[in-house]
Structure 1
Amino acid sequence: MELKKNPKADLTKNSSLYFVIGLAVVMLVVWRALEWKTYEKTNEYDVSMNVDDDLDEEVPMTEQIKTPPPPPPPAAPEIIEVVEDEEEVEETVIESTETSQEEEVIEVEDVEVEEIEEDIDVPFAVIENVPVFPGCENESNKRACFNKMMQKHIGKNFRYPEIAQEMGVQGRVSVMFVIQKDGSIGGVRMRGPDKNLEKEAARIISKLPKMTPGKQRGRAVRVPFSIPITFKLQ
């Protein structure tokens, strides 16, 4: 025996229709909710403050302070006396310095200008008349004789410092000095690897004899001179 279902009992028959109707109702409710506008209630009465006019009150008037009038100006003297200066002022007359055509022009003789001697240094290599070492007066080549006598003087007075020998110090000391305008030695400067060697080089130069000063254009000048002294252990 087959079971037959009653068409009225079918619940899914109009489900799609009900779904569409429900969706339309929900959308209508949401739209109305979004479009809903509310307004604040306004008072129909005047909210202005009831201020009573106090125009009827009397305002007291301030009294004006009276200032005293300014004092009158002093009276002018009736008679003005004019006092004359007793002292006489001498006027200063300024004479014109311009010369006229009638005045004679005095010729001025030549003025002699004295030359001021300046202390200048002329290097040994370029000086006209080199300083003369004692013993080179009669030599024709005084420059070569000067260098020869300098080497002879250094070899004669050379002495190696004992402390430098013990420390094993050796090297070259550059000595610079100036032959003054009177032939004396001055301005001695040294530069070397050790102070003991520099001291010995200064001692050798200090023993140089007085020389004939060098001349430039017939005038005695200072002549700088430099020479190396080599200290070498045997």
Structure 2
Amino acid sequence: MKRIRSLTIILILLLFSSNLSHATDNFSYNKSNEGGKYLAFAEQMPSPIGGLKAIYNKIKYPEIAQQAHVQGKVYVLAFVNKNGNVDDVKVIKGIGAGCDEQVVNAVRSSKFSPGIMKGKPVNVKMAIQFQFKM
């Protein structure tokens, strides 16, 4: 019984891992990155030059948000092109009171190291979270 259970687990893991490797083989750089499309994953994801701290330094806690005691996390989707420039920023989940706009402007004006796939720079979309806390 114990041996059957072990064999079953191994078989499931093998099937799962073979499906994953097959999926990444079909996820080719050329097909995924033509026409300005953005990958959701790259072997090396983009990272802000100077780290997230450099982006946080550009963000000012809006006065209206402070007066209203608005706190929380702002989640954005940054579209980083293969040159490391941010083409677009979309708020996934915001907290309002000017905080969302501060994050969008800070991310949009930041420079990133580009994402890398198969040794080549690629367009990547990535989610980033920022915390506003009093």
**TM interval, short-chain normalised:** 0.5 to 0.7
Superposition TM-score, scaled by structure 2 size: 0.62
**Partner residue, 2:121:** 220
- Report sequence identity in percent: 29
Which segments of structure 1 move beyond 6 Å, counting only runs of 4 or more? none
Q: What is the Cα deviation at residue 133 of structure 1?
A: 4.4
Letter in 2 for 1:130: M
Q: Distance in 1 between matches of 2:97 and 2:110?
A: 21
Please give the per-residue CA displacement for 1:118-168, whole angstroms capped at 9, x wherever unaligned.
1442234xx123336446xxxxxxxxxxxxx12x11332231100111122
Task: After TM superposition, list the pairs within 5 Å mapping 1:141-160 onto structure 2.
Answer: 149-150=51-52, 152-160=53-61
Assess if the C-alpha contact under 8 Å between 1:120 and 1:221 holds in 2: no
Q: Distance in 1 between matches of 2:69 and 2:45?
A: 38
Indicate the structure whose relative CO is greater, using CA pairs within 8 Å and at least 6 residues apart.
2
Corresponding position: 1:129 with 2:54: no
Letter in 1 for 2:118: R
SS at match of 2:95: coil
Q: Distance in 2 between matches of 1:170 and 1:133?
A: 24
**Partner residue, 2:103:** 201
- Give the RMSD, CA atoms, in angstroms: 2.4
Structure 1 residues 229 and 216, CA gap change in structure 2 (3 angstroms): same
Letter in 2 for 1:231: F
Structure 1 residues 129 and 154, CA gap change in structure 2 (3 angstroms): closer
Structure 1 residues 228 and 130, CA gap change in structure 2 (3 angstroms): closer
Q: Distance in 2 between matches of 1:169 and 1:134?
A: 29
Task: After TM superposition, list the pairs within 5 Å mapping 1:90-105 onto structure 2.
Answer: none
Superposition TM-score, scaled by structure 1 size: 0.38
SS at match of 2:44: coil
Letter in 1 for 2:43: E
**Partner residue, 1:186:** 87
Pick the structure with more strand per residue: 2
Pick the structure with more helix per residue: 2
Please give the per-residue CA displacement for 1:189-216, whole angstroms capped at 9, x wherever unaligned.
112121411111112212312x342222
Q: Distance in 2 between matches of 1:130 and 1:169?
A: 31
Structure 1 residues 186 and 195, CA gap change in structure 2 (3 angstroms): farther
Structure 1: stretches of 5+ with no match in the other structure? 1-114, 136-148
Structure 2: stretches of 5+ with no match in the other structure? 1-29
Bigger-Rg structure (1/2):
1
SS at match of 1:157: coil
**Partner residue, 2:73:** 172
